[in-house]
Amino acid sequence: MTARAATGGVPSGSIALPDGVVHLRHHLDETAQRDLVDQVLHAIGEAFWFQPTTPRWNRPFSVRMSNLGTLGWVSDRRGYRYQKGHPESGLPWPAMPAALLELWRQVAGHPTLPEACLVNLYRDTARMGLHQDRDEHDFSAPVVSVSLGDTAMFRLGGMERNAPTRSFPLTSGDVLVLGGPARLAFHGIDRILPGSSDLIPGGGRINLTLRRVSQPLAKIASAGS
Ligand code: MD3
Ligand code: FE
């Protein structure tokens, strides 16, 4: 699949990286960014943040997390998984703001809607090591990522952990669409540049990742026949 096929009607002027990666620089203007941060922080409130821990060692991530939508990604000593409710309270995740569903429709080039929006909060020294996103049951939909607040140094590799990597900044309002062969690429956040934006109350960076998690019913039915 080419980047263009994976991402639908991407406006010209966007820059194609490795196959399946589209980086829409400053896709959201200042007003759209502020509105989105307001809506997301309001939906999450105080109650829905959690501190994920690593499965093997039960060590806290440096990133704080929450989720919006019908399914949310969680990590604890039992492993990585998607679930319908908050890991401590069991309460269902808040709904995804309409603006995020609209963004997906615009850039994902995929007929279904996202089920999960992982909200990552990076304050000053938070980072995310090189990893693949492979806890979903359907890799045919792209992952759509929205960067808000401080600039992050993003690292993108290949399909194997030891493949060469490249690094480039993600700035507030940038949208990344990762589909086709890039869907399973290794990636991470080396660091953020604290104080590079004042968008997030209390400082730092918020990344939103919109994902399809389950296989469409039609696909399950045809596989079983
Ligand atoms: C490349 N988040 O939550 S978003 C994650 O900025 C995650 O918080 C980072 O990696 C962040 O899993 C990076 C950009 C991104 C998201 C998904 C990808 C890049 C990707 C999936 C495949 C390849
Ligand atoms: Fe990831």
Closest residue to atom 19 of ligand 1, CA basis: 187
Distance CA(43)–CA(35), nearest Å, equals 12
Per domain, the residue ranges of the chain are 15-224
198 by Cβ neighbours in 10 Å (0-12 / 13-18 / 19+) ranks as exposed
Closest residue to atom 14 of ligand 1, CA basis: 145
0.85 surpassed by pTM: yes
Residues within a 6 A CB radius of ligand 1: 118, 120, 128, 133, 143, 145, 152, 176, 178, 182-183, 185, 187, 189, 207, 209
Closest residue to atom 7 of ligand 1, CA basis: 188
Mutate to test the pocket of ligand 1, among 145, 151, 176 (most ligand atoms within 8 A of CB): 145
Structure-derived torsion over alpha carbons of residues 150, 175, 127, 93, reported in degrees to the nearest 10:
100
Quick one: which ligand is closest to 183's CA?
A: 1
How far away, in angstroms, is 38 Cα from ligand 2 center?
A: 24
CA quadruple 199, 200, 203, 208: dihedral sign: negative
Per-residue pLDDT of the chain (225 residues; tens, 9 = 90+): 444 444 455 554 455 478 999 999 999 999 999 999 999 999 999 889 999 999 999 999 999 999 999 999 999 999 999 999 999 999 999 999 999 999 999 999 999 999 999 999 999 999 999 999 999 999 999 999 999 999 999 999 999 999 999 999 999 999 999 999 999 999 999 999 999 999 999 999 999 999 999 987 777 777 765
Question: Which ligand 1 atom is nearest residue 185's CA?
Answer: 23
- The CATH number of the structural domain formed by 15-224 is 2.60.120.590
